Amino acid sequence: MVTKSVPYNFRCPNLVCKAEYVAVRRDSAPPQKPRCVECGMAFLAKDEGQFIRYEAAWPVTLVPSDYPLLG
C-alpha cells in the first residue's frame, strides 16, 4: 500500500553542489540508498516511519526525438 504524499523540493545539503531534487515519502524502500547524483552525498533515507525517494529535478535536456513535441 502506497501512502499518498505531497512531493517537496529538496536541495543537496552539500553547499557547493546545489543539485535539486523532488522528494516524496513512500511506504517501500528505494532500490539503492539515496545519494546525490552529482557529489555523492548521502541523503536521509527515512522520515516519520516512511522512506524518502528522490528524483533529480534538473537539468531537462531535450533530445532530437523530443523536438516534434514542442510544436
Q: Which of 4 and 70 is assigned the larger pLDDT?
A: 4
Query: Is 71's pLDDT higher than 80?
Result: no
pLDDT attached to residue 50 = 92
The pLDDT value recorded for residue 57 is: 85
**Interval 2-59: pLDDT, tens:** 446 788 999 999 999 888 999 999 999 988 999 998 899 999 999 888 999 998 887 6
Write down the domain spans for the chain.
8-70
12: its cell numbers: 543537496
With 0.85 as the threshold, say if the pTM is over it.
Answer: no
* Residue the block writes with cell 548521502: 42
Question: In this structure, how many other beta carbons lie within 10 angstroms of the beta carbon of residue 53?
Answer: 20
Q: How many helices (H) and strands (E) does the chain have?
A: 0, 4
